[in-house]
Amino acid sequence: MTRPDHLIEVSGLKKHFPIQKGVFGRHVGDVKAVDGVSFHVGRRETLSLVGESGCGKTTAGRSLLRLIEPTAGEAHYYPEQGGAAVDLFRLPQGDLRQYRRDLQIIFQDPFGSLNPRITVGNAIGEALSVHRIVRGKDLSLRVGELLERVGLRPDVANRYPHEFSGGQRQRVGIARALSLRPKLIVCDEAVSALDVSIQAQIINLLKDLQEEFGLSYIFIAHDLSVVRYISDRVAVMYLGRIVETGSTDQIFEHPAHPYTQALLSAIPIPDPTRRAERIPLTGDVPSPINPPSGCHFHTRCSHATDVCRERYPDPVELAPGHSAACHLLSE
């Protein structure tokens, strides 16, 4: 259901990577990286996508921005509150360009995402030039302002990426994403490659920028302690599908899906006098090439029944804004 405070609504997003074999490239199957996910992001809201490595978090974020083309689905973007929607997945590349200013990304690797052959000032200013926002002397001033806003001195604009530490490079990446004054930023494991102390600085910077510029975030991460600190809502993914969605408090205080419960039980407790009750998962994550029938999680779930093996569960609303896809909850 569309609400006026929604910035973007994604419905039935799929991304299947074809598997080809033989000299003639015969299509023999698909890697179902994302297999029908639906979610929304509100204005000034942070939605976190969490789950094990390979569950489809990053693919979902990049498909939304059409850095990789989605296989199916809809992404309704509302540039103005209460205004008409634009389906990002239906736009030709030429028409999509004007909306790319509003939708940016911060990559996981702060070094690999920067061109080592150009200065950080040029990396930040490139988008400003391409979109013809500022040029010439004003461009240098704008780049200096952005560097200063993310905690770097303006005079570092003439340096190259290898001259910075990992945390500083990620600040450059944030300045680049911020340069076009976007409305939504996808943070793709934006702090996972950084030291813990630097992580805290970057997270606090992201929160400050969100408040100052009214940003919305899709925060992709596997560190649940970071997720709890920064998120307003959380969507838990498993094997290309969302199995539970809710507010941060609902997910962390009242997890309903067995997979969510297992994930949260693995969070380290910084108290040697307390013993954590782990929920071990048996077996490995199934292949997205040939996912299990029924509920994808049934091969690792200790509560699985015959119906779990036969039919994928529909989401069950447990409380306003909190739902989970599990047959146990519908009994």
Task: Quick: pLDDT tens for 248-259.
Answer: 999 999 999 999
Task: Report CA 162 to chain centroid distance, whole Å.
Answer: 27
Strand partners, 235: 49, 245
Average pLDDT estimate for 277-295 = 86
125 assigned to some structural domain: no
pLDDT value at position 284? 80
Average pLDDT estimate for 202-206 = 92
Please answer whether residues 49 and 219 qualify as being in contact, where contact means their C-beta atoms are separated by less than 8 angstroms. Answer: yes
**pTM attached to this predicted model:** 0.92
Average pLDDT estimate for 314-320 = 94
The per-residue DSSP string of 311-327 comes to SPPPPEEEETTEEE--G
Which pair of tokens denotes residue 140? 């240098």
Comparing 55 with 111, which gets the higher pLDDT? 55
Give residue-wise pLDDT tens across range 117-126. 999 999 999 9
pLDDT band at 2; cut points 50, 70, 90? low
Least confidently predicted of 159-163, 185-189, 277-281, 308-312: 277-281
pLDDT value at position 195? 82
In whole angstroms, give the CA distance from residue 158 to residue 224. 37
Average pLDDT estimate for 146-163 = 94
Give residue-wise pLDDT tens across range 297-316. 999 998 899 999 999 999 99
pLDDT value at position 331? 65
pLDDT value at position 5? 86
Task: Starting at the earlier edge strand, list the strands of the sheet with 26-42.
Answer: 26-42, 6-21, 72-77, 86-87
304 assigned to some structural domain: no
Residue 322 main-chain phi, psi, to 5 deg:
-120, 115
Other C-beta atoms closer than 10 Å to the C-beta of 276 total 11
251 assigned to some structural domain: yes
Q: How many domains does the chain have?
A: 1
95 assigned to some structural domain: yes
92 assigned to some structural domain: yes
pLDDT band at 10; cut points 50, 70, 90? very high
Decide if pLDDT at 236 tops 90.
yes
Question: Number of helices and strands (H, E) in the chain?
Answer: 10, 12
267 assigned to some structural domain: yes
Could you identify the residue written with the tokens 């030429």? Answer: 94
244 assigned to some structural domain: yes
CATH number at residue 256: 3.40.50.300
Comparing 216 with 134, which gets the higher pLDDT? 216
pLDDT value at position 194? 82
Give residue-wise pLDDT tens across range 65-110. 999 999 999 999 999 887 889 999 999 988 898 899 999 999 988 8
Give residue-wise pLDDT tens across range 173-190. 999 999 999 999 999 998
HSE, side-chain direction, 13 A CA sphere, residue 196: 2
In whole angstroms, give the CA distance from residue 316 to residue 303. 17
Decide if pLDDT at 145 tops 90.
yes
Average pLDDT, the chain: 91
In whole angstroms, give the CA distance from residue 108 to residue 287. 24
pLDDT value at position 166? 87
pLDDT value at position 293? 92
Comparing 271 with 30, which gets the higher pLDDT? 30
Decide if pLDDT at 149 tops 60.
yes
Task: Starting at the earlier edge strand, list the strands of the sheet with 184-188.
Answer: 103-106, 184-188, 216-220, 46-50, 233-238, 241-247, 322-324, 316-319
- Percentage of the chain beyond pLDDT 90 is 69
pLDDT value at position 12? 96
In whole angstroms, give the CA distance from residue 273 to residue 250. 26
117 assigned to some structural domain: no
Q: Which domain holds residue 90?
A: 6-102+215-280+313-330
